[in-house]
Amino acid sequence: MLNNDQLYENRYGKKSSHDLTNIDLSPLFETILSRGSIRKFSKKNISEELLSLLLMAAQSAPSKSNLQQYSILIIKNDTIKNKIGNIIGKTKWALEAPLFFLFLADIRRNIKITNDRGYTHKNNNLDTFMNSVIDAALSMQSMITASESIGLGVCPISMIRNIIDEVKNICELPKGVFPIAGLAMGWPTEKPRVSYRLPQEVVIHHDIYDDKNLIDKIEEYDERVYRVAPILADQQRHVDRYGVSEKGTWSENISRQLSIPERANFKDWLKANGFNLE
């Protein structure tokens, strides 16, 4: 069992300025602090009974004004899995997990309910879009936390939005519904790698937003990450445009990624599929 100081160092790659050893943590807290994504799963099934409880955990997440503007699509059918797997590219492994979920922002349900009760739904706007996405994301995180607390492994899959039109057709998603992400789940056959995160002094602000000395802190972070997990040539972004970086650092890779538009037509897709975004 790791002590709190070790958990901190494993997450940030450096020691804490505080003495954390006297804080008692629950097993769940420790699971959260040491979590990492899993990409290799055994063939062992997840029982229907356990699945029901995991879905209950997902639905126990907070929801804006109790509007519950999300849905969860469980994909177990091999034919549907194969169809999605064959078009998702390098992320095909995710569809080989025992369970694959789509977490859906869903404004369709409440539009239908409002109309059925004799009212006119007047909130198909950008705020409702954001609320539905947050509801779906909170639900997914609640399921992730619950599943990892009992030894299951998971990995969120944002790549699903790269093939959003195909997924819409395969899964027969109606207007007013779209996948924010997929989630692969199963019993792991590998240990999770604890990724170094940005230091708290970069992410956390007190009373006012203050990012002075940001680049110096990022360079320090880059060095810590590079020592344990350098980004190799086959993992670097857009080498066809920028070439292979001699030093594959976090900031270099995310800068390359963000320099090329991704999902440029996403807004148009949403507006064509039931989200007004006004």
- CATH architecture observed for domain 48-192: 3-Layer(aba) Sandwich (3.40)
Residue 74 CA to residue 104 CA, distance in Å, equals 11
pLDDT of residue 45: 93
Residue 100 CB coordination number (10 Å): 24
In sign, the C-alpha dihedral spanning 226, 230, 231, 233 is positive
Residue 5, CA distances (Å) to 33, 192, 220, 236 in order: 11, 19, 20, 32
List every span in the chain annotated with CATH 3.40.109.10.
48-192
Cβ-contact 203, 231 below 8 angstroms: no
Query: What is the identity of the amino acid at 145?
Result: T
Nearest CA-CA partner of 94 in 165, 183, 169, 161: 183
Side-chain half-sphere of 66: how many Cα atoms within 13 Å?
A: 0
- Find, among 262, 247, 72, 253, the residue nearest to 171 by Cα: 72
Which two tokens mark 107? 């404004």
> What is the predicted pLDDT for the residue at 226?
97
- At 8 the pLDDT is 97
Distance, first Cα to last Cα, the chain: 51
For residue 257, the surrounding DSSP H or E stretch is helix 250-258
Q: Which long-range contacts (CB under 8 A, 24 or more apart) does 243-252 make?
A: 249/222, 249/225, 250/221, 250/222, 250/225, 250/226, 251/218, 251/219, 251/221, 251/222, 252/222
Q: And the tokens for 17?
A: 């300025």
Report how far Cα 165 is from the mean position of its chain's Cα atoms: 20
Measure the CA–CA gap between 7 and 16, rounded to whole angstroms: 10
Residue 2 is predicted with a pLDDT of 83
* pLDDT digit string (tens) for the chain, length 278 residues: 789 999 999 999 999 999 999 999 999 999 999 999 999 999 999 999 999 999 999 999 999 999 999 999 999 999 999 999 999 999 999 999 999 999 999 999 999 999 999 999 999 999 999 999 999 999 999 999 999 999 999 999 999 999 999 999 999 999 999 999 999 999 999 999 999 999 999 999 999 999 999 999 999 999 999 999 999 999 999 999 999 999 999 999 999 999 999 998 999 999 999 999 99
